[in-house]
Amino acid sequence: MEKMKWLYPGLKFKRWVVVIFLGALLLSIGISFAIGLETLTIIDSDLTGISLIILGIILVSLGIKRMLASIYEVLLPNKDEELVDLLYQKRYRKRGPKIVVVGGGTGLSTMLRGIKKFTDNITAIVTVADDGGSSGALRNELGILPPGDIRNCLVALADTEPLMEKLFQYRFTEGDDLKGHSFGNLFIATMSEVLGDFEEAVKESSKVLAIKGQVLPSTLEDLRLSARLDNGELIKGESQIPKVRGKIEEVFIHPKDSKPLPEALEAIKDADAIILGPGSLYTSVLPNLLVRDLTKSIKVSPAAKIYICNVMTQLGETDDYKASDHIEAIYDHVGPGIVDYIISNNELIDNELLEKYAQEGAKPVKVDCDRLKELGVKIIEGGVVDQSDLVRHDPEKLAQVIIELILNIKEED
């Protein structure tokens, strides 16, 4: 019965099936005449055979072309890509490397926009420590995990119309209760209420956005992040940590025995590469790594472990940090064996932007190669920034460096 659906009226499909059938019939008869299986006394059979063969080929070609056009019109009404290019891209991405990315914030979603052009085999493991803004409000009012970073990753991996992306990222500017909330956060929160399960809400939202790969929270626990400064001061709450001036000595999570999702562990086990960052070191990357079983799985994985170093220092978190300080902070929290490579920017930053960031107490992260080598980390440098208005990673440039590194590692193996 499923096959009979192709014959439903209005599909503009049946007529071209008939044309192809007639073309194949004429082609068969023509071949029969041409090789002498059939004879005609009135006109030359060879000439008739050749004519029927040509007519048959024309009808078959026309039928196939118009049938594909009918399918193309329905599936890709507003797409500019040629169908053959689209098919090639989908085949190519389906065979792409298996990549697990770990982190949160805008840095992670920016990178995902680039990586999805090379592979569909992506798993984003996203922090759920956020307790500020729209995510924090929904967390406190509804008792759900913060949806903000997960929403950003879903949108980044989406294969939907631009309007859907704008809808999910739309933030209300009016209304006492709605002001400051994004539609995407409210959508995920509503799905969570309807389904009674945050994990299922994320999965169903993934279907709505037709994302490439999967997005998973690092844990389903009600994760809370705290920091201890070098002067002994204790800061509670992810959103409060960057606001307090002082050197961070340690961050830790509660509950400290939070468990990761089985799907996350399975993705790590099968990965060709595991990428940490980019994003805020203490509030986006480390909260995931403090989920112990997650980090254990990363360490024992044979995958290439890559850290994406931030381009600029971050006020309140990594003031005056060099690239090696990022690695040492990770090692101090979870031990060595979790970073094999570090990708850093070597493109010069525009002076006007440097001055702008200097006013905010930020500067480019210095890549101290000698210390990184002492830490056992291999350095991959490249021009990976976008300097249009802010200094941030360029999705396509960064993805290109990542994919080339992964492919080179696979060739060496």
pLDDT (tens digit per residue) in 188-206 = 999 999 999 999 999 999 9
The closest alpha carbon to 49, from 66, 32, 65, belongs to 32
pLDDT (tens digit per residue) in 201-259 = 999 999 989 898 999 999 999 999 999 999 999 999 999 999 888 899 999 999 999 99
**Helix and strand numbers, DSSP H then E, in the chain:** 16, 12
DSSP, residue by residue, 149-160: HHHHHHHHT--S
- Which listed CATH number (3.40.50.920, 3.40.50.10680, 3.40.50.2000, 3.60.15.10) goes with 91-412? 3.40.50.10680
**Six token digits for residue 57:** 């080929």
pLDDT (tens digit per residue) in 348-365 = 999 999 999 999 999 999
As a whole number, the mean pLDDT across the chain is 88
Report, as an integer, the average pLDDT of 64-89.
62
Name, in order, each residue with C-beta under 8 angstroms of 73's C-beta and a sequence gap of 6 or more. Answer: none
DSSP bridge partners of 285: none
pTM strictly above 0.85:
no
Pairwise pLDDT comparison (353 vs 10), residue with the higher score: 353
**Residue found under tokens 């007519």:** 55
pLDDT of residue 370: 97
pLDDT of residue 133: 92
Cα dihedral 225/226/227/228 (nearest 10)? -150
Residue 9's pLDDT band, with cuts at 50, 70 and 90, is low
pLDDT (tens digit per residue) in 268-312 = 999 999 999 999 999 999 999 999 999 999 999 999 999 999 999
Tell me: pLDDT of 43 over 50: no
Residue 30's pLDDT band, with cuts at 50, 70 and 90, is confident
Tell me: pLDDT of 57 over 50: yes
Q: Judge if the upstream peptide bond of residue 162 is cis by omega within 30 degrees of 0.
A: no
- Cβ atoms of 112 and 203 closer than 8 Å: no
pLDDT of residue 144: 94
pLDDT of residue 327: 98
Tell me: pLDDT of 265 over 70: yes
